[in-house]
C-alpha cells in the first residue's frame, strides 16, 4: 500500500500540522505502508505537475494549517491542478484523509472544505483529523493526543486496505454537472504532458509573450482598417520618402515584434521595401515597434533613438544618419 501526504502549510516552526503528520507517518511506516510526502511550499513552482504523483497512490492525506482564514493558497492551488490536470478515473479510486489543525479558528470548516473538494473531484473521503492548538509544545507532549492520532491513523489504514464502501454524496453529482460542459477528452498521458507544460515557467512566459504579440497585432489591424502592421509600416515609409541624388544604401531593420527583417533598398529616387533577408547590408538597425512608432509619428528621429540606446545599429554612421534625410516624419535630427 502507498499513501501520499500533501502538506499545504508554510512549514514554519511550531506548526501543529507537521507534528500530526510526523506521528501519522511513523505509524504508517511501522505497519509497512510506503509513504511519500510532498511539501507544497517547496513544490510551488511545480504544483501543476503534482497530480501525476497520485497515479500510484492508494490513499492520500491532504494536510494544512488554518492560521487566520481558510486552508491556505498552496492547497487550493494543488486542488485546482487536480481538477484541471488530474486523472479523474484514478482519483475516483483513491481514499483521502483530511488533516487540518488551527492556531486560530476554523479547523472544522477547513476539514469539511477538503472533504467536499475531494468528493467533487470524484475521490473517496475518509474520517480525518482536526483540532485547535494554542501551544504546539504542550500539544506534542500530550500523550493522550498522540495516542488519539495513532488510533485515527490505524482506522485510516483499515479504511483504505479494506476499501470501505461509503454512501453516494451529492457532491459527486455536482462534479458530473459542473464538469460536463468544459470537459476536454484527454488520455492520462496527454493530461500528464499538459500539466508539465503548465508547470514550465519558460513555456508559460513564451505563451504569454505570443498572446501579447497577437493581441497587439489584432489591435493594430482594427486601428488600421484591417491593414497588417507590416503593410502599414511600408505604406508609412513610402509616404514620407524624400529621394536624394547620388545616394544609395541598403538598410536591414530588425523590429522585435515583426518576424522578418524589413529591407530598405534606396538608390536615388528608387525605393524598394520588402521583408526578408539580404547579404551585407550597408546598415543593420534593431529596435522595438514602440520606438519605431515614435519615429513614424515624428516624436523621435532615427539618430536620437540610436543616441538614446533605444536602437542598436551596425554599419557606417553617416549612412545611418541619412535615414532621417530620406524619410521625413516632421522632426529634425
C-alpha cell at 173: 453529482
Task: For cell 455536482, name the residue.
Answer: 174
Domains of the chain: 2-199 (3.40.50.360), 229-326 (3.30.1050.10)
pLDDT-derived band at 178 (thresholds 50, 70, 90) equals low
Looking at residue 230, its pLDDT comes to 86
How confident is the model at residue 173, as a pLDDT?
59
**Is the pLDDT at 212 greater than 70, yes or no?**
no
pLDDT at 165: 83
pLDDT confidence band for 45 (50 / 70 / 90): confident
**Kind plus residue range of the DSSP H or E element containing 38:** strand 34-39
% pLDDT > 90, the chain = 67
With b for 16 or more beta-carbon neighbours within 10 A and e for fewer, the 79-105 pattern comes to bebbbebbbbebbeebbbbbbbbbbee
Q: Is the pLDDT of residue 141 over 80?
A: yes
The SS3 assignment for 190 reads helix
CB distance 123 to 129 below 8 Å? no
Higher pLDDT, 214 or 44: 44
Q: Side-chain half-sphere of 166: how many Cα atoms within 13 Å?
A: 18
- Mean predicted lDDT score pLDDT of the chain: 87
C-alpha cell at 289: 515597434
Is the model's pLDDT at 64 over the cut of 80?
yes
Residues comprising the chain, all counted: 333
**pTM for the whole structure:** 0.56
Contacts of 47 (CB under 8 A, 6+ apart): 40, 74, 77, 78, 81, 199
* 307-315, long-range: CB < 8 A, 24+ apart: 311/285, 311/286, 311/287, 312/285, 312/286, 312/287, 313/283, 313/284, 313/285, 313/286, 314/283, 314/284, 315/281, 315/282, 315/283, 315/284
DSSP 3-state helix, strand, coil percentages of the chain (rounded to 5)? 45, 20, 35
Q: Judge whether residue 248 has pLDDT over 70.
A: yes
Question: Beta strand 129-132 with 283-287: parallel, antiparallel or unpaired?
Answer: unpaired
The predicted model gives 2-11 an average pLDDT of: 96
Task: Determine the pLDDT at residue 166.
Answer: 76
Task: Say whether 117 sits in a helix, a strand or coil.
Answer: helix
Write down the pLDDT at residue 229. Answer: 80
User: Grid coordinates 509497512 are at which residue?
Assistant: 32
Which of the residue ranges 4-13, 68-77, 177-186 would you say has the lowest mean pLDDT? 177-186
The residues facing 103 across adjacent strands are: none
- The Cα–Cα gap between 136 and 146 comes to 12
pLDDT of residue 22: 96
Amino acid at each position: 500500500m502507498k499513501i501520499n501526504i500533501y502538506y499545504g502549510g508554510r512549514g514554519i516552526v511550531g506548526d501543529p500540522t507537521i507534528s500530526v503528520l510526523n506521528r501519522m507517518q511513523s505509524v504508517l511506516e511501522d505497519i509497512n505502508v510506503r509513504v511519500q510526502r510532498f511539501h507544497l511550499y517547496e513544490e510551488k513552482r511545480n504544483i501543476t505537475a503534482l497530480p501525476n504523483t497520485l497515479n500510484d497512490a492508494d490513499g492520500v492525506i491532504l494536510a494544512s494549517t488554518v492560521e487566520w482564514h481558510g486552508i491556505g493558497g498552496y492547497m487550493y492551488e494543488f486542488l485546482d491542478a487536480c481538477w484541471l490536470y488530474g486523472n479523474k478515473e484514478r482519483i475516483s479510486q483513491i481514499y483521502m484523509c483530511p488533516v487540518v489543525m488551527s492556531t486560530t479558528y476554523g479547523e472544522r470548516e477547513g476539514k469539511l472544505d477538503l472533504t467536499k473538494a475531494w468528493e467533487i473531484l470524484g475521490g473517496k473521503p475518509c474520517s480525518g483529523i482536526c483540532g485547535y492548538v494554542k501551544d504546539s509544545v504542550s500539544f506534542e507532549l500530550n500523550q493522550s493526543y498522540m495516542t488519539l492520532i495513532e488510533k485515527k491513523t490505524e482506522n485510516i489504514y483499515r479504511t483504505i486496505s479494506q476499501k470501505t464502501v461509503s454512501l453516494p454524496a451529492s457532491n459527486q453529482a455536482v462534479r458530473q454537472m459542473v464538469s460536463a460542459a468544459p470537459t476536454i477528452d484527454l488520455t492520462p498521458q496527454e493530461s500528464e504532458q499538459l500539466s508539465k507544460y503548465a508547470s514550465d515557467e519558460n513555456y508559460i512566459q513564451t505563451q504569454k509573450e505570443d498572446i501579447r504579440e497577437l493581441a497587439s497585432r489584432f489591435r493594430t489591424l482594427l486601428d488600421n482598417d484591417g491593414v497588417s502592421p507590416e503593410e502599414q509600416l511600408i505604406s508609412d515609409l513610402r509616404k514620407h520618402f524624400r529621394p536624394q541624388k547620388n545616394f544609395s544604401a541598403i538598410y536591414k531593420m530588425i523590429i522585435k515584434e515583426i518576424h522578418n527583417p524589413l529591407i530598405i533598398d534606396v538608390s536615388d529616387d528608387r525605393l524598394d521595401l520588402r521583408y526578408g533577408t539580404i547579404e551585407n547590408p550597408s546598415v543593420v538597425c534593431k529596435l522595438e515597434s514602440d520606438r519605431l512608432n515614435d519615429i513614424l509619428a515624428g516624436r523621435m528621429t532615427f539618430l536620437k533613438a540610436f543616441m538614446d540606446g533605444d536602437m542598436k545599429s551596425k554599419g557606417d554612421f553617416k549612412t545611418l544618419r541619412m535615414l532621417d534625410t530620406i524619410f521625413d516624419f516632421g522632426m529634425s535630427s
